[in-house]
Amino acid sequence: MSESYAEKAAALDAVDELGKLRAQFVLDDAVYLDGNSLGALPRSVPGRVEDVVRRQWGSLRIRSWDESGWWTAPERIGDLIAPLVGAAAGQIVVSDSTSVNVFKAVVGAVRLAGGGDGHGDGDGEGGGGGRDEILVDATTFPTDGYIAASAARLTGCTLRPVTPDEVPGALGPRTAAVLLNHVDYRTGRLHDLPSLTAAIHDAGAVAVWDLCHSAGALPVGLDEHGVDLAVGCTYKYLNGGPGSPAYLYVRRDLQPRFDSPLPGWNSHADPFGMTPDFTPAPGALRGRVGTPDILSMLALEAALEVWDGVSVAAVRAKSLALTDFFLECVSAYVPEGAVESVTPAAHAERGSQVALRCSDAGGVMRRLIERGVVGDFREPDILRFGFTPLYVGFGDVERAARVLAEITS
């Protein structure tokens, strides 16, 4: 049995059109299935960072803001990310962390909806009539929930946690903004962005999507589906490096009305005018705040070069093939009852990870890592395996399932 799946993996790798991209990453003999937490290092990055440090900063110094293009990096790199999430140029700015951008987006969404009273009372209870409610994914990554609660206090809105399935029934005339994850970080479930966005719009509310676990792994279609605002990190499937800056998408027709709760000199229409009154810059630039993190920003720009000529549709097709094959190998190898998949089997509901429920999951993951299979563990009993199609092969998948079987037998 083991030999037949190994042969199948070899055959699949032999015809994998994305397989050649693996050589563009710094990898070793381990099976790296944790790209949904931190992507592997693209080979182009170290040389670029050295140039930024030694030549641009070391020699050109302050001149690099103009001569090396530092000043325009946030929007320039945003335009590189745009096609990966289905957006036209001029709608994404790269800056700050995901958490900061979630805050900008949720407060900005309430303001776009004409909601809240602008006077939070500390406990999230809504103010007067009108749109004074924020819906948040109850299963979200904790930070999104914390930020949404803070945004509710700031705007005088009530925060209402609901599951994505409950959103259509929870929407109403009080709803100002809805914050949802495209892919659930724990289970890998892919939520229905098109239909949920349409339902939110039908209710007169503003949709904010967190793309951390989908950008770079599957088609998003921000423009196609009329998403209002979106945020995402760049250190997972986009391989930008630890702590690389996040991004904020503001749909083009909303940009003139987008009122960021964090205005800074970098988002001013005349940043060097040093005027006491704030006038927001045009377009997505109003999503900037302070001085860009140039070292991380330009490392990300180099990392994004691996996407030249790569089709997101091809990435999605391989992602589904990898996760299908992993589940097939797990079913064949792992003793019955040792693990249980909590990731949906249906392609339409699956991101690019597989989450397995397992007793002593923390201990099992430690032993997997010791054996050269790197995934991660989430409390209380989840083994997470992320599949980055740019560098994960079918042979990796077969080996990971085989080692898992040996550990759980």
List, by residue number, the catalytic residues: 141, 210, 235-236, 384
Question: Rounded to a whole number, what is the distance in angstroms from the first to the last CA of the chain?
Answer: 16
Q: What is the CA radius of gyration of the chain?
A: 22
385-389-394-397 Cα dihedral, nearest 10 degrees:
-10
Give the closest residue to 257 by CA, choosing from 380, 138, 114. 114
313-316-320-326 Cα dihedral, nearest 10 degrees:
130
Give the closest residue to 75 by CA, choosing from 213, 228, 243, 281. 281
Q: Which two tokens stand for residue 171?
A: 């929407």
Residues 6+ apart with CB under 8 A from 137: 144, 145, 161, 162, 163, 164, 179, 180, 181
CB atoms within 10 A of CB 346: 9
Distances (CA, A) of 124 to 148, 152, 177, 201: 10, 5, 14, 23
> CA 305 to CA 311: how far, in whole Å?
13
> What SS3 string covers 305-328?
HHHCCCCHHHHHHHHHHHHHHHHH
User: What is the β-pairing status of strands 353-358 and 339-341?
Assistant: antiparallel
Q: What's the one-letter identity of residue 225?
A: H
Residues 6+ apart with CB under 8 A from 193: 182, 209, 220, 221, 225, 227
- DSSP run (H or E) holding 158: strand 158-162
Q: Which two tokens stand for residue 268?
A: 């001013």
DSSP 189: B
